[in-house]
């Protein structure tokens, strides 16, 4: 199922995630999935990828400066149950954010389910930019969020649980 994900940077200090979660809770917005990444790691990976592709966009001094500055922030990606309401709330509260379509899939919590699903994407030549998910105990369902290069095509592959 195609869903809208919100990405934002929060200051990397105690209480910031709690403030965001409280803001969402008070607005009756449920966060169905979330991932948090140290922004400096994100920036470092971006620089390494750029270096491997030989496409330098800035000097080494600029890279170092950006890495230092990015350590002050965390990259948050979240999947709200009501993205329009969440976006309006974040705008009202002056958060800097972006949103994009992703594919969210409920998987059975058993060995091989993730492998089967990701193998199908590979067979269809769909690259996965990133993924995050939840795990439950027992035989419950797990929600996995995928950011493939072709969201609509990836979603069409998994319609009706056919993977």
pLDDT at 65: 58
Task: Let me know whether 90 and 138 are in one domain.
Answer: no
pLDDT tens digit string along 7-21? 998 888 899 999 999
Q: What is the pLDDT of residue 54?
A: 47
The total number of residues written for the chain in this structure? 163
| Structure tokens that stand for 97 in this block | 């954010």
Same domain for 142 and 154?
A: yes
Host domain of residue 10:
2-99
Tens-place pLDDT, residues 38-62:
766 666 666 666 555 545 555 555 5
Contact by Cβ (8 Å): 154, 121: yes
**Mean pLDDT of the 117-146 span:** 87
Residue 68: closest CA among 94, 91, 44, 33: 44
Radius of gyration of the chain (CA): 18
pLDDT band, very low/low/confident/very high, at 136 (cuts 50, 70, 90): confident
Q: Please state the pTM of the whole predicted model.
A: 0.79
Residue 76: CB atoms within 10 Å: 21
Question: Does 148 score more than 50 pLDDT?
Answer: yes
Tell me the pLDDT tens digit for each residue of 101-112: 999 998 888 889
54 lies in the same domain as 80 = yes
Structure tokens at 29: 């917005």
Question: Edge-to-edge, what's the strand order for the sheet holding 97-108?
Answer: 31-38, 73-80, 2-11, 97-108, 141-148, 128-133
Helix (H, G, I), strand (E, B), or coil: what is residue 12? Answer: coil
CATH code at position 120: 3.30.70.260
């Amino acid at each position: 199922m195609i869903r809208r994900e919100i990405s934002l940077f929060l200051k990397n200090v105690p209480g910031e995630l709690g403030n965001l979660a409280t803001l969402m809770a008070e607005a009756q917005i449920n966060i169905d999935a979330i991932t948090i990444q140290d922004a400096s790691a994100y920036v470092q990976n971006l620089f390494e990828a750029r270096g491997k592709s030989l496409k330098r966009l800035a000097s080494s001094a600029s890279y170092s400066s950006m890495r230092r500055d990015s350590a002050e922030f965390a990259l948050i990606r979240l999947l709200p149950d009501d993205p329009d309401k969440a976006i309006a709330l974040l705008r009202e509260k002056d958060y800097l954010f972006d949103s994009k379509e992703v594919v969210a899939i409920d998987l059975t919590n058993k060995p091989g389910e993730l492998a089967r699903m990701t193998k199908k994407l590979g067979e269809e030549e769909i690259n996965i930019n990133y993924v995050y998910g939840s795990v439950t105990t027992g035989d419950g369902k797990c929600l996995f969020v995928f950011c493939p290069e072709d969201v609509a095509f990836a979603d069409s592959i998994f319609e009706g649980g056919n993977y």
